Amino acid sequence: MEIVFELFKNMPTKNVISWTTMIFGYVRVGMYKEALNLFQEMQIEGALNQGRWIHAYIDKTGTVIGPILGCAFIDMFAKCVSLWSALIYGFAIHGRGREVLDWFENMQKVGIKSYHVTFTAILVVTRDWLMRENHLFEGIGGVHKLRPRIEHYGCVVDLLGRTGLLEEANMAQSLPDT
């Protein structure tokens, strides 16, 4: 199944047949968790693609977006972001660091903007991340154009303390106003 999943993951475009075949394959070999994860991913990607198609159609036809349609778009895209963040946070509270980082990477690949809650979930769980992937915290302000909040610094100080980097954890004394 690993090889099949790699082939599936690298497909330039996926359709309902490729998605359901992959999900059915997982179910058939008893990999139910993987089947559910893939089903969730299919739902998210489908909703996001549909929203993008509708938005492109509106742009192409010059349709005026009134308050009702505008609110519907905001609601649809917000639910996509909320769903991704909820999924990431769910993995975080269960200590599933690898899944947190994998889903965050997928979130970025499909073009969904990250928010403060997403970064808090990532920072809560990723102890060894500081040693390997320090660029993520710096990316909050740089790449993602978000100003780190006190809870982000709190998570970093906690991680530094738990990994024995007490000197570095003293950064809390010189935190910028958040």
Tracing tokens 């928010």 back to the chain, one arrives at 115
State the Cα–Cα distance between residues 130 and 156, nearest whole angstrom. Answer: 8
State the Cα–Cα distance between residues 176 and 70, nearest whole angstrom. Answer: 37
Is residue 69 domain-resident? no
Do residues 120 and 152 touch, judged by C-beta distance below 8 A? yes
Is residue 70 domain-resident? no
Tracing tokens 């403060």 back to the chain, one arrives at 116
What's this model's pTM, rounded to 2 decimal places? 0.49
Same domain, 90 and 145: yes
Same domain, 91 and 148: yes
Is residue 9 domain-resident? yes
Do residues 70 and 78 touch, judged by C-beta distance below 8 A? no
Do residues 159 and 130 touch, judged by C-beta distance below 8 A? yes
Closest CA to 25 of 44, 40, 39: 39
The pLDDT of residue 138 is: 58
Tokens, residue 20: 């359901």
Same domain, 27 and 91: no
Average pLDDT, the chain: 75
Same domain, 105 and 172: yes
Same domain, 102 and 160: yes
DSSP string, 87-131: HHHHHHHTT-HHHHHHHHHHHHHTTPPP-HHHHHHHHHH-TTHHH
Mean pLDDT value across residues 138-154: 68
The pLDDT of residue 86 is: 78
Q: What is the pLDDT of residues 10-50, one digit of tens each?
A: 888 888 788 888 888 888 898 888 888 888 788 777 766 77
Instruction: Judge whether residue 175 has pLDDT over 80.
Output: no
- Domain hosting 99: range is 77-178
Same domain, 15 and 87: no
Tokens, residue 95: 């200590």
Same domain, 40 and 88: no
Mean pLDDT value across residues 48-60: 77
Same domain, 111 and 172: yes
Is residue 61 domain-resident? no
Total domains in the fold of the chain: 2
Phi and psi at residue 154, to the nearest 5°: -60, -40
